[in-house]
Every structure is written in structure tokens, then in C-alpha cells.
Amino acid sequence: MKMECDVLIIGSGAGGACVADVLTRAGLDVLMIEEGPELKAGETLSTAHEALPRLWRAGGLTMALGPTPISYAEGRCLGGGTEINSGIFQRTPAELLEAWAKKYRIVDFNAHSLAPYYDRATTAVKVSEGTDDFAEDSGILRRGGEAMGWKVSTLDQAQLSVNGPHGGSLAYVSQKKLSAKNALLPAAKTRGLRILSGCRALRLETKGKHVTRVHVMHGKTREAIQVKHVFLCAGAIYTPFLLRQSGFRAAQIGSSLRMHPTIKCLAFFNREVNAQQSRLPLCAVTQFMPDQRLGGSVFMPAFYGMALAESWEARGMHLFDMKNAAMYYAMARAEGRGSVHALPFLPDPVVRYRLTPEDRANLAMSAGRLAQALFAAGAKKVYPSLRGHTGWSDPAQARHFGERGLQEGQAHLMSVHLFSSCPPGENAAITATSSYGQLRGASNVTIADASQIPEAPGVNPQATVMALAFRNAEHFLQTRKKAA
């Protein structure tokens, strides 16, 4: 394969796949590199212990350091995060888009102007409303939320089929979910897209403000790719990490990382729930969105085992009760922020994150609310992911916790939503790129991934990542046309 191209796309997830779609339609010579492996056609990984080392970054052992450490998950394979996420598809609320447009001075950035890009993303991954008629774990959340008088919504999902069990499963478990790899890359390949998997970008080489080559490790060989333009789509952690490693020192790069921290709750009932069959409840309590959302977590035997291990002394006795259990999450739209660091001689990014006292109060309140809904639906015991916690047996305990708040370091938090590490806009003091993702300090680098979402959206970010990637790629084409 020739190691030069018009446009190099670094990363193959929700952002990279959309950029490849736009640019190959315009007839450009596009090369995409992906650090992780590509699953061969027909190859399925049916268990978590097979999938974690192959599809997840660092086998799933990634963590943001801080007073309350937060485990986070990222995809590292062709298709990126869309291979390992649930494919839940939600648009960012209009009022948040408008607030961001004002604060960051982002040009033409509102629900109306983004609608065509959201529509395009919706069509690309065949979004449809999930059905949860068959799943008891969804029914529990729906009944519990409604019993509390809260709004409960069925979630839209990127999927090939909406009927039958496993509709909400991870892509590698069920072929029913439609990842970016399956939705956009095959057609882009027929239009000439070249893909190098197992190829990690190490450094962007610049001449003045122009990136001329990208140094990569392909397998065990170090190579350099000649580029005319670079699209960075490596995600909220690796995009700023790569820029920092390449000598881009602007303070706005990697210093405004945001997340949706979550507290998990493992609930037990006196009857069979069989959550391991439906694997993902496709509804959520949306009454308190965008600041809080209560939803269902992926449930597989492996994850049940991990949930028990979290506080073995208290939970070990439930080893054989999996059929009676289901797992849910309480998610908060945090105001705290984190940073991504590239330290000398360290090959991996160091991520730090600090929750604000308001975030901790918000998280505690949402966990308390979730547990109350679960008790209203008949739960006998609810275990929140709190250090050494022995579980709640009645809703009053959960309500009390929600009112009292969360102490620093008290919870085992995790997040699968990371963003905002290179925000866009014309307010140069707080943004890393232009309104359309063009990196400040470089003439030929555009960012199109979750790092471009200015702040925590309170909803699953895939739809917004795809919409912004389409928008940035289209703007790049228009600018190029004008220049020509």
C-alpha cells in the first residue's frame, strides 16, 4: 500500500467513518488508519473475555486519576467505540446547543442547522425505536419510573432489526446492532477508501504550521505517511494526546475533558428477570434529563461476575442468583473537568478528572432516585457501586443517601462517554479549533470526534459525534473547493 494520500483519517469510530463517507463521495484519495484490529467477516466474539483484549482499549483497564478515580471504556478496533457501545442514538437538547454556541462562539450551531447532519447520521446507521416488550429488565425500569410519577422513554438505537431478544446487545455479541464499521466503511471502501488496521499514529511532523508526515507504528514497523490533510478522529483521549506528543502546546488542547460519570446499581428480585437474555434494557427514566438519566446497563454473565467482585463480602452470597438480578445505572451530566497529559517517556496518556461537589450531589441524588424506582418495581435489595457498601433494603435508605450526597473517593464510578477535550468555536481563549474543527496552530488538521462536543450533552454522544463529523467534513470540502 502506498504511504501517501490526500487525506489521512486517524481513527475509525463514529467520527472517522463519517469523514470517510463524505470525503470518498467527493472522490478524494483517503487513507484511514486504526490502531486496533479488524474483525474478519463472519468472525464473532461471543464472550466478554474474548472481546475485552481485542476490541477495548487496554483490555478495558483505563482509568482517570483523581480524588474519585473513574474507570472509563473506549473502543480500540475497526469501528472504534461504535463496536463496543450500545448504539443508543439521541440528539443533544436544543437549549444546550444554543448555550454552547453563545459561550464558545460557535458559528451556525443550533438544533436547526445541525438537523440535516443528525438526519444523515440517523439514516446511515438505520436508527429505529427499540422494542422492549419482551424484556423484563426494561419492564422493571418502566414500571418503577412510572410508579414514581416520572417520565420514562424508549430509546432509539442503531440497529438492523428491532425484533426479538438481543436487540440491544453489543455489536460483537449480536450482529443486530449497526456499528460505524458495518454502516459506512464498506461503501466507502468501494469508493476507494484504503484502511490500515493495526497502525498506531505516533507523531505529526510539521513544517511551519503544515503537517507534512504522520509517523506511525504499523505492526512492528515504524513508517511515515505523506499527507496533504489530516482528520483527527481518535477520540476524546487520544486526539489531544497525539497533538501533545506532536508538540502542539496550546493550553486549550486536552484541558477541558468532560465525562458522564455513572454509579451502577445491581438489583435483586424475588422472581426471575433473566436480564442476561435481553442484555440491555432499552428504556430510560428521562424525567431529570439532561442533568440526570437513569437507565439499564449491559448485562452478561461476565459483567455480573465483575459486579459481584466489586464488594465480594457483601455480594458473594448472590453468586447463583443471576437470573433474579438486573443492572442499572444512574448517570449525571457533570460540570467537573479533566485533562489529558502526554508525559515524557510514557507511551500512554495520563488522564486526570475531578468532580465538583455539585457533581457528587447530583450523582448521589440520581443513584438514590434509581434505587427508589427499582424498589417501586419490586426490588428486594439494591447494591450501589459504593466502596464496601452492604446494599440498600428499602427505599428510605436510598432516599437518605441521595439527600446526604457522595463523599470524595466513596464510589466506584465509571464512564463510557468522554468528550470536550478539544472544543470548537471562535472564542480562542477556551477553544482548540475553529467552529468547524480546524486546529489552531496548524493549517491542515481538522478534528472530527467526541473531543469536539463542547461540554457534557447529558445524552449518549454517538449521534452528536456523527453529526459534527459530517459537518466538519462537509465544511472542509467547501473550503477546499473555494481555495481551488
Would you list the DSSP string of 277-333? HH-S--EEE-TTTTTEEEEEPP--HHHHHHHHHTTHHHHGGGTT-GGGEEEEEEEE-
Q: Which stretch binds other proteins (CB under 8 A): 54-62, 123-131, 174-182, 217-225?
A: 54-62
Residue closer to other proteins by CB (options 22, 48) is 48
Q: Which residue from 7, 20, 308, 365 is in contact with other proteins, where contact means CB under 8 A? A: 308
Instruction: Give the DSSP H or E segment for 478.
Output: helix 462-483
Q: Which residue from 27, 67, 301, 357 is in contact with other proteins, where contact means CB under 8 A? A: 301
Residue closer to other proteins by CB (options 421, 438) is 421
Helices (H), 148-274: 180-183, 185-190, 235-245
Selection from 267, 231, 257 nearest residue 421 by Cα: 257
The reply to whether omega before 290 is within 30° of 0 (cis) is: yes
Residue 36: how many other CB atoms lie within 10 Å? 23
Buried b (16+ CB within 10 A) or exposed e, 432-457: bbbbbbbbbebebbbbbbbbbbbbbb
The answer to the question of residue 302 lying near other proteins (CB under 8 A) is yes
Q: Which stretch binds other proteins (CB under 8 A): 131-139, 296-304, 325-333, 438-446?
A: 296-304
The answer to the question of residue 61 lying near other proteins (CB under 8 A) is yes
User: Rounded to whole angstroms, how far apart are CA atoms 338 and 353?
Assistant: 4
The answer to the question of residue 99 lying near other proteins (CB under 8 A) is no
Sketch the per residue contact string, 316 through 355, with other proteins: x for CB under 8 A, - otherwise: x--xx-x-----------------------xxxxx-----
Residue 337: how many other CB atoms lie within 10 Å? 19
Q: Locate 362 and state its grid cell.
A: 447530583
Residue closer to other proteins by CB (options 27, 53) is 53
User: Rounded to whole angstroms, how far apart are CA atoms 329 and 166?
Assistant: 19
The answer to the question of residue 314 lying near other proteins (CB under 8 A) is no
Task: Please say if 417 is a catalytic residue.
Answer: yes
Residue closer to other proteins by CB (options 209, 323) is 323
Compute the least distance from the CB of residue 347 to other proteins, in Å: 6
The answer to the question of residue 87 lying near other proteins (CB under 8 A) is no
Helices (H), 191-226: none
The answer to the question of residue 305 lying near other proteins (CB under 8 A) is yes
Q: Which residue from 1, 27, 49, 108 is in contact with other proteins, where contact means CB under 8 A? A: 49
Strand 4-10 relative to strand 221-232, pairing = parallel
Q: Which stretch binds other proteins (CB under 8 A): 87-95, 131-139, 227-235, 312-320?
A: 312-320
Residue closer to other proteins by CB (options 49, 151) is 49
Task: With beta carbons less than 8 A apart as the criterion, state whether 69 and 408 touch.
Answer: no
User: Rounded to whole angstroms, how far apart are CA atoms 7 and 150?
Assistant: 48
Residue of 229, 389, 412, 417 marked catalytic: 417
Residue closer to other proteins by CB (options 107, 346) is 346
Compute the least distance from the CB of residue 170 to other proteins, in Å: 14
Q: Which residue from 111, 162, 217, 306 is in contact with other proteins, where contact means CB under 8 A? A: 306
Instruction: Give catalytic residues, as residue numbers.
Output: 417
Residue numbers at the binding site for other proteins (CB under 8 A): 47-49, 52-53, 58-63, 301-306, 308-310, 312, 316, 319-320, 322, 346-350
